[in-house]
Amino acid sequence: MKITQLDPFILHVPVTRGGIADSTHSVTHWGMPGVVIRTDVGLSGFGYCGTHAHLPSDKLITSAMTDLFGPLLIGQDPRKVRHLYRAMDREPVNIWIGRAGVTQMALSAIDIALWDLKAKAADQPLWQLLGGDPEKRIVGYNTDGGWLNWPTDQLVDDCKRMIEVEGFHAVKMKLGKPQPMEDLRRVEAVRRAIGDDARLMVDANGKWHLADAMQYGRRLRDYDVTWFEEPLWHDDVTNHATLAKAIDTPIALGELLYNVDQFRPFIEAGAVHYVQPDVMRLGGITAWLQVAELADAHRLPLVPHHGDMMQAQIHLCIAHRSCWMLEYIPWTLDCFEEPARVVDGAYTTPTQPGAGTTLRDDALARFNVLT
Ligand SMILES: [Mg+2]
């Protein structure tokens, strides 16, 4: 099997209720710059990353896919994905200008497409190719009701509905109001509404500084919060380590880290308790598996960030022993041939061959903004 062609796309898909916000971002659409990798045997692999639907930067990402990495792939057998990953990762231009940001997200999309092809060629879902157990229960936790721009009554109603009506057993809400006490009052209201048994996570998206995080973060224990996600600036190992020792609530982070080398100092410093790689940012499935092994070697659980909209990562969670929980945000489910699905709080096991990333033709026609 040989790669013959790379066809880029950029999907911009509307989010819930016209727009959501956390402490750092406001989003009306979810961006999916991606690529279809075609072969001489008729199989196609789909890969993409996730953005805030900023078209100029999305175009930079697709350009890196086709112009930087594409020439390394044409004529190659996609089943040699680990070999091809190394060639792309060590490509001199990538070493000079890449290893993070635009080029790393492009590499992620390509790597996902190659693994999709490898699993399709084996006629297996990716979790099976990777040795996973189809009976494994992966808990879905829903973030799509915990937004910072939701007024408190709507936040409470949404979290209650996700637990009582939709069957989730875990929800996450955003922090980052101008006054931390307002955040704590919202946490208290949600905890009261969802009861004691449901898991509740909070996420500051890197906004707080260490002083506030120590003073107010300490009080999260009163609401039995499972983890405090990205409390501080994303790259700050030292202050996260200080905070981790100062408060009882575990720390989760990793969604904005770009490679395994960036995870290592957090883990070795004791600055993270729940490791949160995102397959669409840190270099795709090949790199995700590296981070999963690193976390597992330190006996830390892995709870991936949702950037691929769960499609590939549910396969990886089923396959890797360090995973038991995966974020759930349903914005792009209609785009996929086999959308990720949660029933009674847990993901169902995908059955179609591939990595779960195959897009529907009508979604490509409707949401593609790349001209
Ligand atoms: Mg987060």
| Digit-coded pLDDT (tens) for 160-177 | 999 999 999 999 999 999
Mean pLDDT of 16-42: 96
**What's the Cα-to-Cα distance from 312 to each of 63, 75, 174, 237, rounded to whole Å?**
23, 25, 25, 28
For residue 253, how far is its CA from the centre of ligand 1 (angstroms)?
Answer: 7
Q: Is the pLDDT of residue 109 over 90?
A: yes
Tokens standing for residue 26 = 């406001």
- Rounded-to-integer distance, Cα 119 and Cα 54, Å: 31
Domains of the chain by start residue, with CATH: 3-123+361-367 (3.30.390.10), 128-347 (3.20.20.120)
> Against a cut of 0.95, is the pTM above it?
yes
For residue 205, how far is its CA from the centre of ligand 1 (angstroms)?
Answer: 6
Active site residue 306: no
- Residue 365, burial from CB neighbour count under 10 angstroms (0-12, 13-18, 19+): exposed
- Rounded-to-integer distance, Cα 150 and Cα 19, Å: 10
H/E run at residue 162: helix 152-164
Q: Which of 240, 305, 306, 320 is catalytic?
A: 305
- Rounded-to-integer distance, Cα 79 and Cα 314, Å: 21
Active site residue 177: no
For residue 292, how far is its CA from the centre of ligand 1 (angstroms)?
Answer: 18
**What's the Cα-to-Cα distance from 243 to each of 204, 251, 274, 277, 360, rounded to whole Å?**
14, 8, 14, 20, 44
Residue 135 banded pLDDT, cuts 50, 70, 90:
very high
- Residues 187-202, buried b or exposed e (16+ Cβ, 10 A)? bebbbebbeeebbbbb
Q: Is the pLDDT of residue 17 over 90?
A: no
Q: Which of 174, 306, 315, 320 is catalytic?
A: 174
Residue 241 banded pLDDT, cuts 50, 70, 90:
very high
For 332-368, how does the pLDDT look when each residue is reduced to its tens digit (9 = 90+)?
Answer: 999 999 999 999 999 999 999 999 999 999 999 999 9
pLDDT for 313 equals 98
For residue 344, how far is its CA from the centre of ligand 1 (angstroms)?
Answer: 23
For residue 270, how far is its CA from the centre of ligand 1 (angstroms)?
Answer: 19
Share the mean pLDDT of the chain: 97
For residue 92, how far is its CA from the centre of ligand 1 (angstroms)?
Answer: 32
pLDDT for 16 equals 87
pLDDT for 10 equals 98
pLDDT for 371 equals 86
